[in-house]
């Protein structure tokens, strides 16, 4: 088989020669047309806009020419492969055929075709006078392992302009990842326009300065930092992602990680404990003691916020955070203690659960599902909640055993802000060493779960926290190439971690680095950081040894 067919990432389920004894495959040229069957029009448009732009080929709608790329939706592929995202690509001496169990499956097949064409197909315009593009003769049959294949992008700690977010949508799509979880609010910034409460962005989207590096660092960037997405900006991002079969899941963090909101509207905080009017948007990192007050005013405020969020995001899931909520202010607050007594709650943990349950019911009543970090287990899990298991596997195991859906994203394995090597040159080294191979050997379903529990693991997610990533360039470095390994874990049916052929994956990555180059991704090279990727003198917080399995 032509080697072009063997460097696909993520690895497909089945791949074989299309012609007995091998064959020359198929050549796409200026006469190649797109034969778009019913329901395939958006994928045809994407092929013209991306592959057409990169190759310079017109890829005109099909007329009478037999030279064609044929797009079809074949629902029977879903039954055959157990997923509506299944697809089949056939390249032989007669045509290129891409079949999808649905439009989504067809789109993933089109992404595979783009990889088969080589790295130049990932550019935005042709770079050589080339009129023919040869494809190997092969048959690929493929479907994903998990329904939720996500990446969390933290735009609250460091704001990423809209164009950078759109570029990340394209990067997720190129790796067959289908969920973009946007962390939109935190102590350090509120990034989404809420028309009923304009001070959330007028005040909450801006901080006066920023800690450089870990919170123990003595360094500060004295420039103001901030930014936010207008509602139309976000509708554009959501629509752009939908065209690429990616769901954008918004996160509005509560009741912790909320100082930016309290700075904008001081009545949201525990006014009977501290002077909330003195708070500003936080300029450093860590767990913040200033949390929302468990009052009717706060509940109504966030219901108003979420009402506007639901109008922008069609996602069935809405993430409400729920993590790292210190209870000290609630213990000291007569108002919070009165709420505990009024609701018959045992303690402050149950008060947080009461807060989360309120929004679980509120979202359920509007046809949506609440997702939260695994702290929402404390004090009792809201009935319909899905758990993002971040502190390890334990929260996800408990939630799955209790009949809740789980997205596995353990910090020790797939937090991409953690350093990629032990060398002194790694920029702002945070956490455990998580190499490309470590990520490739990550297994989302822990062996402690029985078959019923394993079914509750609906997917997995890599999280990109940006406290020490001040720009798209830094995000690229921390994210790639490890996100490519993660994408294969999420999509492909791999052997047990110790049996995975990492050497073969590395060989396929050789071709994939060229694709990332064409896309303009400032990834970490296999040999270590380039000079401009280093951050000498900026303090991190490395943790030595192998990460625990918890």
By annotation, the residues acting in catalysis are 186, 257, 324
Q: What is the dihedral of CA 40, 45, 47, 49, to 10 degrees?
A: -170
**Residue-by-residue DSSP string for 296-339:** HHHHHHHHHHHHHHHHH---SEEEEE--S---HHHHH-HHHHHH
| Residue 209 to residues 35, 147, 158, 162, 286, Cα–Cα distance (Å) | 55, 40, 12, 22, 16
Q: ∠253-189-439 over CA atoms, to 5°? A: 65
Q: Which helix (H) or strand (E) segment is 269 a member of?
A: none
CA distance 472 to 12: 30
| Residue 286 to residues 172, 214, 224, 283, 326, Cα–Cα distance (Å) | 28, 9, 19, 10, 12
CA distance 254 to 459: 23
Contact residues for 413 (Cβ-Cβ < 8 A; gap 6+): 434, 438, 439, 442, 547
If one counts every other C-beta atom within 10 angstroms of the C-beta of residue 520, the result is: 12
Q: Between β-strands 386-389 and 406-408, what pairing exists: parallel, antiparallel or unpaired?
A: parallel
CA distance 546 to 434: 9
The CA R_g of the chain, rounded to the nearest whole Å, is 24
The dihedral built from the CA positions of residue 185, 190, 192 and 193, taken in this order, carries a sign that is: positive
CA distance 294 to 299: 7
Could you tell me if 244 and 237 are in contact, meaning their C-beta atoms sit under 8 angstroms apart?
no
Could you tell me if 169 and 245 are in contact, meaning their C-beta atoms sit under 8 angstroms apart?
no
Please list the residues that pair with 463 across neighbouring strands. Answer: 152, 415
Could you tell me if 514 and 7 are in contact, meaning their C-beta atoms sit under 8 angstroms apart?
no
441, 516, 510, 527: which is closest to 476 by C-alpha?
516
């Amino acid at each position: 088989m032509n080697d072009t067919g063997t460097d696909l990432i993520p690895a497909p389920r089945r791949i074989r020669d299309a012609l007995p004894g091998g064959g020359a495959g198929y050549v796409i040229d200026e006469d190649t047309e797109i034969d778009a069957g019913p329901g395939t029009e958006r994928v045809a448009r994407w092929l013209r806009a991306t592959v057409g732009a990169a190759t310079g080929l017109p890829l005109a709608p099909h007329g009478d020419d037999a030279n064609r790329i044929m797009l079809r939706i074949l629902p029977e592929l879903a039954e055959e492969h157990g997923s509506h995202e299944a697809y089949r690509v056939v390249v032989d001496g007669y045509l290129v055929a891409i079949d999808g169990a649905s439009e989504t499956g067809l789109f993933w097949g089109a992404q595979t075709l783009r990889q088969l064409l080589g790295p130049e197909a990932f550019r935005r315009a042709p770079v050589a006078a080339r009129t023919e593009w040869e494809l190997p003769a092969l048959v690929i049959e493929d479907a994903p392992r998990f329904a939720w294949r996500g990446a969390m992008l933290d735009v609250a700690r460091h704001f990423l302009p809209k164009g950078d977010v759109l570029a990340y949508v394209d990067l997720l799509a190129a790796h067959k990842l289908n969920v973009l979880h946007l962390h939109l609010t935190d102590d350090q910034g509120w990034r989404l326009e809420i028309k009923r409460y304009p001070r959330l962005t007028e005040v909450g989207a801006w901080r006066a300065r920023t800690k450089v590096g870990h919170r123990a660092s003595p360094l500060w960037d004295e420039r103001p930092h901030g930014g936010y997405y207008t509602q139309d900006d976000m509708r554009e991002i959501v629509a752009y992602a939908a065209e690429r079969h990616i769901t954008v899941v918004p996160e509005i963090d509560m009741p912790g990680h909320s100082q930016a909101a309290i700075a904008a509207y001081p009545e949201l905080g525990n006014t009977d404990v501290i002077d909330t009017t003195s708070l500003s948007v936080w300029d450093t990192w860590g767990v913040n003691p200033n949390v929302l007050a468990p009052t009717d005013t706060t509940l109504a405020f966030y219901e108003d916020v979420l009402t506007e969020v639901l109008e922008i995001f069609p996602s069935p899931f809405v993430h409400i955070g729920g993590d790292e909520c210190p209870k000290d202010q609630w213990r000291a607050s007569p108002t919070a203690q009165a709420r505990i007594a009024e609701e018959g709650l045992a303690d402050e943990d149950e008060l947080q659960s009461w807060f989360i349950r309120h929004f679980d019911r509120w979202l359920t009543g509007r046809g949506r599902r609440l997702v939260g970090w695994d702290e929402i287990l404390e004090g009792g899990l809201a009935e319909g909640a899905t758990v993002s298991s971040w502190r390890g596997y334990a929260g996800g195991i408990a939630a799955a055993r209790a009949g809740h859906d789980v997205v596995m994203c353990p910090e020790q394995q797939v937090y991409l802000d953690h350093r990629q090597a032990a060398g002194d040159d790694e920029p702002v080294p945070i956490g455990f060493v998580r190499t490309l191979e470590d990520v490739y050997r990550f297994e989302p379903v822990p062996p402690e779960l029985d078959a019923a529990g394993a079914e509750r693991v609906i997917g997995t997610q890599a999280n990109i926290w940006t406290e020490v990533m001040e720009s798209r360039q830094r995000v690229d470095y921390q994210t790639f190439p490890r996100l490519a390994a993660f994408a294969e874990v999420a999509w492909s049916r791999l052997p047990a971690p110790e049996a995975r052929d990492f050497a073969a994956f590395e060989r396929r990555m050789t071709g994939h680095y060229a694709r990332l180059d064409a896309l303009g991704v400032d990834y970490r090279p296999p040999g270590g950081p380039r000079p401009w990727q280093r951050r000498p003198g900026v303090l991190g917080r490395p943790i030595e040894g192998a990460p625990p399995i918890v």
